Structure 1
């Protein structure tokens, strides 16, 4: 499987450990396997409430911070845009994974929610990450049946990586 996670930390309130990233990569592998996703790249960015508030206002017209935002590449690609790669004879285009999209998590909000729900910060960030990943694939929770389906998938993946409540 060539699913890749590229991450960056743009907040200073909480340290993002290598063990957390390894846990998220494991959750990503499990969720991708269930969904039949074998390749692609996800960009994950950790921010604070102020940064996610600005993004939420700019892209969703909602004037408040949120916990996670997902921006699927297939939602924003201009279908009329042609990308041409000029290759020399015998060359192959390799090593460029399909970009699935961006997931932005407010670590500050995740911390608040972990206290509110009575579980670890790692569990909350894992939940938000898998939630964001499913949004990248087109899942939503606009009604009860779709919310139940999404929640079931999230909880199953989190249980597989030991992030239970």
Structure 2
């Protein structure tokens, strides 16, 4: 599994923790061990450009996902598809504002957004209430399990 983190911001972040979280989520979702993922951290200006270009929405957002080979979660007893999972783009400055509002650290918000982004790459969505419940329940379980495994309070 190849996971690259490209920090194009001035934020001093624990890139290894983002890799560990990404690897954990991908393994739990039974993504092929040869799959590739890129996590890119950008400033608000770059995120605004992407948000307008791809979603036709103004201003920066917290996370965007760009799937490549449209991989889906693997299932017990089946061999998962090999390929490139895709790219996740995170905006730490937007995430920092959200973390402050939620009352937790920036690092925790970035781990949440990374998990969220990977689920989007695997085809999960939250446009409909049933989809939202499924995706957010799974996201919460994955993140809490990851944090508990790292010896962090949940």
Aligned Cα root-mean-square deviation (Å):
1.7
Structure 1 stretches of 4+ with a deviation exceeding 6 A read none
Counterpart in 1 of 2:74? Answer: none
Larger Rg: 1
Is the Cα contact below 8 Å between 1:27 and 1:157 reproduced in 2? no
1:154 to 139, 142, 152: 139
Asked whether the equivalents of residues 46 and 107 of structure 1 are also in contact (C-alpha less than 8 Å), the reply is yes
Tell me by how many angstroms 1:74 deviates: 2.7
Q: Which whole-Å deviations, capped at 9, do the CAs of 1:25-45 have from their partners, x for residues lacking one?
A: 222233223321122011111
| C-alpha displacement of 1:164 | 6.1
CA contact under 8 A between 1:42 and 1:101: conserved in structure 2? yes
Between the two structures, name the one with larger relative contact order (CA 8 Å, sep ≥ 6).
Answer: 1
Report the TM-score when normalising by structure 2: 0.83
Instruction: Pick from 6, 9, 19 the counterpart of residue 4 of structure 2.
Output: 6
Partner of 1:34: 28
Distance 2:44 2:135 in 1: 25
Instruction: Note if contact 2:64-2:90 (Cα within 8 Å) is conserved in structure 1.
Output: yes
Mapped to 2, the partners of 1:7 and 1:23 lie a distance apart of: 10
C-alpha deviation, 1:120, in angstroms: 0.9
1:116 lines up with 2:101 in the alignment? yes
Write out aligned runs for 1:51-90 (5 A). Answer: 51-74=46-69
Q: Structure 1: 5+ residue runs without aligned partners?
A: 76-96
- Give the TM-score, by structure 1 length: 0.77
* Structure 1 residue 10, shift from structure 2 partner: 1.0
Shift of 1:9: 1.0
Unpaired stretches in structure 2, ≥5 consecutive residues: 71-81
Residue 130, structure 1, aligned to residue 115, structure 2? yes
What are the Cα deviations for residues 39-94 of structure 1, in whole angstroms up to 9, with x where unaligned? Answer: 2011111011111011100111112110000000036xxxxxxxxxxxxxxxxxxx
Aligned to 2:92: 107
